[in-house]
Amino acid sequence: MTNELIIISDYCSRCNVEPDFILMLGEDGLIDIEEHDNVRCFPASQLRALERYSHLYYDLSINVAGIDAIRHLLERVESLQSEVRRLEGELRFYRQ
């Protein structure tokens, strides 16, 4: 499995995103930022999350702290949904 990296400056110029926004996300631990040969990059695997954060920030005017809170709540919802599916599976087992 390769760890493809996206250069932050390339992403920003193509998607009209401020590099400082991505760096703020990195400082808050929302995006992993790596530096190779003085070029800052982020893993391609985090592209979907970055697009979601960009939408929240630019379209909905939610600050980075708010984005972090939303991320945490969405992770919690996903966890609870998984738990419900697991419990439903157990319930089906015992009903048989």
Q: Are 33 and 40 in contact (CB under 8 A)?
A: yes
pTM of the model: 0.83
Over residues 49-73, the pLDDT tens digits come to 999 999 999 999 999 999 999 999 9
Q: Tell me the helix, strand and coil percentages in the chain, rounded to 5.
A: 70, 10, 20
Give the 3-state secondary structure of residue 92: helix
Report the pLDDT value the prediction gives residue 1, as an integer from 0 to 100.
Answer: 45
Residue 70 corresponds to which tokens in the numbers above?
A: 């939303």
Share of the chain above pLDDT 90, in %: 91
Full set of structural domains in the chain with CATH: 5-95 (1.10.1660.10)
Which among 35, 32, 68 has a CA at the least distance from the CA of 52?
68
Q: Which helix (DSSP H) or strand (DSSP E) does residue 6 occupy?
A: strand 5-7
